[in-house]
Structure 1
């Protein structure tokens, strides 16, 4: 017939065979690619990093906590604002030891329910320390409590939710917490005394025995130190304000880099005791490094 092209039986059979082979290969390729198990891989690695940093920060607090505990035992202080059980040194000591023990249980726990139970235990112990007469104003336990809340949230989801979406939400929540803490620190410094550098000069530049300030006192006179304190203080205020307002808006990995750099440098360049406050926030900021650049399947 005019306008029609007839296909030979051999050609048609060959084309059908090729299509069948192509489909089989495609199905085999898809079957060989699987999503990571919930609670494994990057999610579990992020969980371990945060837990270990939380533990390190609390252990870093030990020397100061031990001295404070001895003072309270030998010179009892009573404030009627606090109920009797929140005045007891034994309660504070047991809560501190309990928080460390719960973290260890959470790291080595083999089941999801055990990790959740341990995270709730850590959060509860830190909550007691936040309310206790001897530790209610200690920033170590404040930052640690926020990080422990994040861990508690993650443990309730990591065993059954898809890892990549969970990591993105976890990293976003982490940088919101870090931004809030930075902004809180900045707000407390929005005063004439901080802006002039007077507070930082008295705290750090006069007689703080730390390598940075010892080096400055050896090389500069008093007036120069006061000027340096002013600009140092203003730099801290601006960095904390800008990061507090904007870090949570950054992409996950950029926010992780900014957070780790800021929190580590604050302690490294001013006071090693601050590592008890900030190490947990370094770990929390680092969660962003575990977020993949894009959602991909791993074989």
Structure 2
């Protein structure tokens, strides 16, 4: 009896098992967003010095969308607000912090110093999703929230993939000319260094064509498949596709793709567990402790 009681007391002291909670999709997305900003940091500092030395000037846009100070504030505010939203447990403050993240991201995709950087475009989409998610937490049931969040994440991932693919459905990409000049000629990256050292010029050019067509087809097919597949398959395929793009093209692309990797994984639909399963798992763990 005493040993059983001791086992029960010990069981309550065990660290909780890692489980999917309503906050997990948010944390995965925020982690990807923060990793993207971290990956961009060195480049951002360089760009900031350039914009300070050579101010942006464009008559069409208002002054504040050309100011390097505004861009600095937006970048820093986006990072701080993600952390603030993550650590707070109060719903109103979390929604406010998530809104600040999205507003900061909006400034960055409008600003003339960052509008053409895909890092801030993918960050913006993910911040929009995260803001929406925070407004539904504690309102929707977990099952309903997971279903909506998974569907919305797949829509965003599909939009990004198909947007990238549509820009590549050109004769220059299909022939391999674009990626031949960007990557295969002299890009210092492990894949292309190995290819240049292993194949002659003509073979390398043919590989560039195959590689380029593969990129176009993968983005196109994945863009449609992510939306059509079940949630779990879509989450895995999305994360794998985005990770492979950076691993086999350019590690710097993780600044663009990390938010999307997190968002893809956020679409994972956990299998529902009922109370009986939880009790059974708890009893099994207690029995194992007693037996030990």
User: Fold-level match, TM-score > 0.5?
Assistant: yes
Q: CA deviation at 1:245?
A: 2.0
Aligned equivalent of 1:292, options 257, 270, 279: 270
1:115 to 2:98 alignment: no
Could you say which residue in structure 1 is the equivalent of 2:181? 202
Could you say which residue in structure 1 is the equivalent of 2:35? 56
Matched residue SS, 1:61: helix
- TM-aligned CA distance change 1:41 to 1:264, over 3 Å: closer
Could you say which residue in structure 1 is the equivalent of 2:51? 72
Larger radius of gyration: 1
Unaligned runs of 5+ in 1: 1-39
Matched residue SS, 1:159: coil
1:163 to 2:142 alignment: yes
Q: Is the 8 A contact 1:106 1:115 kept in 2?
A: yes
Equivalent pairs counted in the alignment come to 258
Matched residue SS, 2:267: helix
- Taking the aligned partners of 1:188 and 1:105, their CA distance within structure 2 comes to 36
- Taking the aligned partners of 2:164 and 2:207, their CA distance within structure 1 comes to 21
**1:210-245, Cα deviation, whole Å (9 max, x unpaired):** 111111111111111110010001011111111112
- Taking the aligned partners of 1:151 and 1:272, their CA distance within structure 2 comes to 25
Unaligned runs of 5+ in 2: 1-18, 279-292
Q: Is the 8 A contact 1:164 1:292 kept in 2?
A: no
Could you say which residue in structure 2 is the equivalent of 1:22? none
Q: CA deviation at 1:184?
A: 0.2
Taking the TM superposition and a 5 Å limit, the aligned residue runs for 1:1-299 are 41-289=20-268, 291-293=269-271, 295-298=272-275, 299=278
Structure 1 segments (4+ residues) deviating >3 Å: none
Matched residue SS, 2:47: helix
